[in-house]
Structure 1
Amino acid sequence: MQKNKPGGGFLLEFVIITGMSGAGKSQAMKAMEDMGYYCMDNLPPTLLPKFAELCCKSKGTIDKVAVVVDIRGGIFFQDLFDSLEELEKMNVKYRILFLDAEDPVLVKRYKELRRPHPLNPHGRIIDGIEEERVLLENIKNRADYIIDTSKLTIGMLKEEISKIFVEGEEFRQLTISVVSFGFKHGILLDADLVFDVRFIPNPYYIPELRDLTGEDKAVKDYIFAWEQTNTFLEKLLDMLEFLIPYYIKEGKTQLIIGIGCTGGRHRSVAITNKIVDELKGKGHRAIASHRDYKLD
């Protein structure tokens, strides 16, 4: 990341972490702290310029800063854009990291933690989420980086943050989640694209492969020994390379691709993993997950 020179002095990295409540801002702050950033949680936006000024006066003692700012600041959150303008006048070239997640994921996280939503502590969680999305719309549009944490583990989130702020990799706002599933357990409801791979011969009918999964070498060797498997994979990857730039242009931050076979244990698992490997090899942010492979 390009460093900044507030007031013509020492170099300073100033990162503002914001986003939806429950999307992982606290975990992001911990990741930044592990990377050597001085972190401040729940700072009222109106204090951002003062905090930046104090960092400047540290004479280089504090040269990397990450600040979490969100709607917990209540009415003070309305001062955020005024504070950003003040930072610009101070020549502090901040970066904004916005964390997001799908509504059902946020609701589930709140229920697991048995916490009310800060904007609707005595009402429905989903109502608070909807209100928060409206309040955060403008700051999300100004974000330099948007990470959708719906399908990310804590380790995956830390890896994405490291790619941006440590390794200096080009950030792609689109996260591609490839999910294997079995049609007999129900179609993948949240998928943007669904592909049926039941046309490939089924390893289930090979006795020595039946109890294995698509993550086992013997099963993968069987599946990819068929010409139709490799032709399908080639054509699918070619189509995705065509579609991805248009999804990014439309502002989409997550693309969910469902790969379905009969039970979600063999063919869909192996092909999902292969698709993700190929996408990562082309520089895309791709994640594999398997919904049903332990059910059979």
Structure 2
Amino acid sequence: MTDTKLGKDGKRQLVIVTGLSGAGKSAALHAFEDIGFQAIDNLPLTMVSRLVSDAVTDTEEGSIAIGIDSRTMHFSPEDFVRTIKQLRTREDVYLHVLFMDASDEVLMKRFSETRRPHPLGEGQLLRAAIKQEREMMVVVRDHIDGILDTSARTGAETRRIIRRRFTGDNQPKLIVTFMSFGFSNGVPRDADLVLDVRFLRNPHYVEELRPFTGRDKKVSNYVRADEGFAPFLNKVEDLFDFLLPRYKDEGKSYLTIAFGCTGGRHRSVATAEALAARATGDNMAVNLYHRELIGDEKR
């Protein structure tokens, strides 16, 4: 179990979990519980500041994760933003606002499968309720620290991601995730940077390579042999060397860099693997996530 007590500087880790209904907020809170957080769901906004004040005075209490969304009593986006701004002025907590998101189609499927009503669904169709909530949360998204899109992720994958992002000591750490994906399935909604590697030669058109992925050495070697691969990697590394210190200075907790090819199985996977292997830095952790493949890998 991770130590989630006070950090060396006396600060408490506080995560506000918000987002769209059906996007996995409850599952996220369960994941926080699993790593030692005190998890509280649907806490009225008027009680948040008092809860945090009480918690930081008790050195035996662990880190805190609070779920707040449109189901919360007397919720309004404006009050939520006001509360977040107040919390950010505190010098005794590390605040991270995590926004859970998913596509409208996935949300509709989840509500249909569970047969649970949407919190804003009274008197209107499900799609209209989802649209209304998404529009309501636009102002909230301007004040978050990160997004976790669960559209293409299982509950187990979501839990693993939360474990990796929020375990460790209570000191701020930039967690960099190198993601591969296929443009044929859409651009990932939670990517901070998206780079297109479809300019590289495609192993899909080599019959003996097609069944394999960019994790396999024969495919990786084929992609690396493209004359544009090494210069591209070097230029991307230069970009990261420039950006990462500035992201850290701005207090960013995690960064997702997505590499896309047509199907998300060959070129993007090989590129993400290569860059993840070369990524190093003080107070930085590196993860790998191949969206179109099974599993979520950490280095």
TM category (shorter chain) comes to 0.5 to 0.7
SS of the residue 2:214 aligns to: coil
1:115-264 equivalences under 5 Å are 115-121=116-122, 123-143=124-144, 145-150=145-150, 152=153, 153-163=157-167, 166=169, 168-171=171-174, 177-180=179-182, 187-190=184-187, 193-197=195-199, 199=201, 204-206=206-208, 209=209, 211-224=211-224, 226-228=225-227, 230-231=229-230, 233-234=232-233, 237=236, 241=240, 256-260=258-262
Shift of 1:146: 1.7
**In structure 1, C-alpha distance between the alignment counterparts of 2:82 and 2:228, rounded to whole Å:** 56
- Deviation per residue, 1:45-67 (Å, 9 max, x gap): 2232453465478x544353322
**In structure 2, C-alpha distance between the alignment counterparts of 1:254 and 1:142, rounded to whole Å:** 18
User: Is 2:178–2:272's contact at 8 Å kept on the other side of the alignment?
Assistant: no
**In structure 2, C-alpha distance between the alignment counterparts of 1:201 and 1:51, rounded to whole Å:** 55
Return 5+ residue gaps in structure 1 as ranges.
5-9, 182-186
SS of the residue 2:22 aligns to: coil
Q: Which has the larger radius of gyration?
A: 1
**In structure 2, C-alpha distance between the alignment counterparts of 1:115 and 1:167, rounded to whole Å:** 37
User: Is 1:28–1:158's contact at 8 Å kept on the other side of the alignment?
Assistant: yes
Aligned counterpart, 1:29? 29
User: Is 2:18–2:25's contact at 8 Å kept on the other side of the alignment?
Assistant: yes
SS of the residue 1:119 aligns to: coil
1:97-112 equivalences under 5 Å are 97-104=97-104, 105-112=106-113
Q: State the TM-score, normalizing by the size of structure 2.
A: 0.64
Report the residue type matching 1:73 in the other structure. Answer: T
Larger deviation: 265-274 or 40-49? 265-274
Higher normalized helix content (fraction of residues): 1
**In structure 2, C-alpha distance between the alignment counterparts of 1:188 and 1:69, rounded to whole Å:** 30
Larger deviation: 133-142 or 280-289? 280-289
**In structure 1, C-alpha distance between the alignment counterparts of 2:141 and 2:24, rounded to whole Å:** 15
Report the residue type matching 1:20 in the other structure. Answer: L
Shift of 1:115: 3.4
User: Is 1:100–1:147's contact at 8 Å kept on the other side of the alignment?
Assistant: yes
Shift of 1:287: 2.9
User: Is 1:24–1:149's contact at 8 Å kept on the other side of the alignment?
Assistant: no
Larger deviation: 193-202 or 84-93? 84-93
Report the residue type matching 2:63 in the other structure. Answer: K
- Per the alignment, do residues 3 and 60 of structure 1 end up closer, same or farther by CA in structure 2, a change over 3 Å counting? closer
User: Is 2:18–2:67's contact at 8 Å kept on the other side of the alignment?
Assistant: yes
Return 5+ residue gaps in structure 2 as ranges.
189-193, 295-299
- Deviation per residue, 1:58-115 (Å, 9 max, x gap): x544353322122112434475466668878998657242223243444444344443
- Per the alignment, do residues 31 and 258 of structure 1 end up closer, same or farther by CA in structure 2, a change over 3 Å counting? same
**In structure 2, C-alpha distance between the alignment counterparts of 1:87 and 1:205, rounded to whole Å:** 57
Report the residue type matching 2:173 in the other structure. Answer: E
**In structure 2, C-alpha distance between the alignment counterparts of 1:76 and 1:159, rounded to whole Å:** 28
Shift of 1:119: 1.2
Question: Cα RMSD over matched residues?
Answer: 4.6
Report the residue type matching 1:258 in the other structure. Answer: G
**In structure 2, C-alpha distance between the alignment counterparts of 1:11 and 1:239, rounded to whole Å:** 34
User: Is 2:5–2:59's contact at 8 Å kept on the other side of the alignment?
Assistant: no
> Percent identity over the alignment?
24
